[in-house]
A and B are shown apart, each in its own frame.
Chain A
Amino acid sequence: MKHDVKAFWMLMLIIATLWIGGCEAPNFIKAAQFEETDRIVLTFAGPVDPAWAEDPSHFTVNEKPDPDILLDIASVRLSPDRSRLTLTLVDPINQDQPHQVVAKEIVSEGRNLGTQSVTVSKPYFGYLVSILIGALLIQNFVFSKYLGLCVFFGTSQKKSTAVGMGITFTFVIVFASLMSWFLYQFVLKPYRLDYLQIIVFIGLVSLTVQAVDTVLRKINPALFKAFGVYLVLVIANCIVIAVPLILADNEYNMIESLMLALGAGLGFLLALFLMSSVRERLDFANVPTSYRGLPIAFIVAGLFALSFMGFSGMSIF
């Protein structure tokens, strides 16, 4: 019993410490975000002094990589509840770059809180989603980057095969590209062995396929029966080797790499599904003899590629 009381007070103490620590958080600026094309909105933890806030000389804004070039501020406006402040700049903001905002000598309720700075950037989550959607639709690996076509045409005759292939492929590509990302970032790049990337990546892909094969056979024979046949085909798919190469060329971090790999896999699945739906119906169509089989499939793929061009230029975040 005594033990419990002690533990309870300990817990209270911890919570209190955290609470006080939270209250006296060094940053009075709670949030900062871009708005429209030329505005930055700062949200303060409490009301600020209007006289202080309305003076543009208390604020500086610069693009993070260019600390020496301050951007011109056109006007500053405080919201009626005195906790939201809108900085309007003279020129439109390049929102792809993170910006740094410095508020000098913040005055709140008569108290001087000192100079504080905050970084404004586009929401990171949105960036991740845009990578995913980019690989899935806008830059679909099959219809806009023309990769993985052999397997694409080979396995898109029936919907069931297509879905099986797509799912297997998504699994393998996520594993393989994460592994190759690690290997590239921590071994190949630091030791300047990046000219070995082709041989290393193809080795890793084969290894992943072999591992998935072995594990699946042991753990879930039913699933292996369903998907085992596609595993061999995965190696012959250019996308599976293209994604690690693209990751190596661009400086993506781990989560971004995961998103790209996932987008590539799901994009392939989507392409296969669309294509197989059409090809199942094509079987009943009266296609000229010379066009039967692959030629007509290519023309259908061309139509898909045309319609996928409609996604280009789309930006959600």
Chain B
Amino acid sequence: MKEIIRITIALTLSCLLAGLVIGTTFIFTAKAKQHNEHLNVQQTMLGLLGYGPQRPAAPELQLHQVHRYIVKHNETMRMGYMLPARCSGGGPGYVWVELDLKGDFLDRHELALTPEAALSADDRKKALAGILDPGAEADFADTMIIACLGDRRTAYLLPGEFPGFKTFIKAMVALDADFQLLGLEVIEHEEDPGLGGEITQDYFKNQFVGKTFEKLKHLTVIKEPLPADYEHYLKSMGLRNSGLSESETADIRQRYKDQDIHALTGATISSAAVTNGVKAMVKKFAYRIQVLDQALADGDVKVLF
């Protein structure tokens, strides 16, 4: 009996000690984790817009986050958008806009939400709880980022995920104002190293750059090997000393502009997954942003983008 008590006490003590150590570490790292993740996303976004260590971002560049929700009330469904907009007081703030499924403007509310708080899902939920009808439920769907220089829209950034060959692939796509592809960044994937894992390589990702919206709608994967000059061009894209003269670059760009995506060797399924994923993301976004712009004009919402 004495033994058992001693063992129990010893185990409890060690568990408590372990809990203390882990708890302390968690408290110390939680903030840093959030901060670093945020920083990473920020860097990815700037990178996609063409900014980097050599080319710092313009000071007037602004990234506006628009959060989309699906609102369910009884049996009806609506789309809810949380947008940065000019409030009644004149200052910048967040506005909640509801559209019906056809895209007609229904309703607007001003939210007590600062841009910093809007980054956290919990704070957004709290702000929403105050204005939704009782019984209505808002499910977060996705976020899109609209990059503006001054009051001109320069680009759209779409984070998204789609099924890959093994698990989900998380990616971010950048579009210019005419929905032409500016770039693609693979953020997270679990494809096989050396095969599907090559989707993170420049020579694959950069094939998407410059595809027009019309081309993108019907983009497919072809199994032909990548031509050597094209591969060199893709790899050197964005580098200073690419080894190609300007006319050569322009020539290659022109020649392969309407080319479909060359599949990676031994990873056709991964390549097709990325192509289809990007295609679906862009198509849905292009439809939604046009509907949203129309609705915002109808509802006379003064958005910041």
Which A residues form the contact surface with B (CB < 8 A)? Answer: 65-69, 94, 96, 139, 195-196, 199, 250, 312-313
Contacts and interface: CB of A to CB of B under 8 A. Distances in A.
Interface of B: 18-19, 22, 26, 70, 77, 79, 99, 101-103, 141, 163, 165-167, 192, 269, 276, 280, 284, 287-288, 291
A96 B163 contact: yes
Given A68-B79, A94-B276, 7 more contacts: A65-B141, A68-B99, A68-B102, A68-B288, A69-B287, A199-B18, A199-B22
A195 B33 CA distance: 13
Given A139-B166, A195-B22, A313-B269, A68 B280 contact: no
The 3 closest A-B pairs by CB, nearest first: A68-B101, A195-B26, A67-B77
Contacts, number: 32
Nearest to B79: A68
B187 to A, nearest CB: 16
Contacts of A250: 167
For the complex, would chain B's binding face be called helix, strand, loop or mixed by DSSP majority? mixed
B103 A68 contact: yes
Contacts of B18: 199
A308 B167 CA distance: 18
Nearest to A309: B192
For the complex, would chain A's binding face be called helix, strand, loop or mixed by DSSP majority? loop
Contacts of B288: 68-69
22 contacts: A65-B141, A66-B284, A67-B70, A67-B77, A67-B79, A68-B79, A68-B99, A68-B101, A68-B102, A68-B103, A68-B291, A69-B284, A69-B287, A69-B288, A94-B276, A94-B280, A96-B163, A196-B22, A199-B18, A199-B22, A312-B165, A313-B269
Nearest to A138: B166
B269 A67 contact: no
A5 B155 CA distance: 78
Contacts of B276: 94
Contacts of A69: 284, 287-288
Contacts of A139: 166
B165 A313 contact: yes
A269 B101 CA distance: 52
Contacts of B165: 312-313
Contacts of B284: 66, 69
Nearest to A313: B269
Nearest to A66: B284
A66 B26 CA distance: 37
A96 B169 CA distance: 14
Nearest to B291: A68
A67 B101 contact: yes
B33 to A, nearest CB: 10
Contacts of B19: 196
Nearest to B195: A312
A110 to B, nearest CB: 28
Nearest to B19: A196
Nearest to B141: A65
A41 to B, nearest CB: 23
Nearest to A134: B166
Contacts of B102: 68
A96 B287 CA distance: 21
Contacts of A65: 70, 141
A313 B266 CA distance: 11
Contacts of B166: 139
A96 B141 CA distance: 17
Nearest to B142: A65
Query: Looking at A66, A68, A69, which has the most chain B CB atoms within 10 Å of its CB?
Result: A68
Contacts of A94: 276, 280
A312 B166 CA distance: 9
Contacts of B101: 67-68
A266 B163 CA distance: 26
Contacts of B163: 96
Contacts of A312: 165, 192
Contacts of B167: 250
Nearest to A65: B141
Nearest to A62: B101
Nearest to B103: A68
A232 B22 CA distance: 27
Contacts of A195: 22, 26
Contacts of A66: 284
Nearest to B217: A91
A94 B99 CA distance: 26
A196 B22 CA distance: 8
Nearest to B100: A68
A196 B25 CA distance: 11
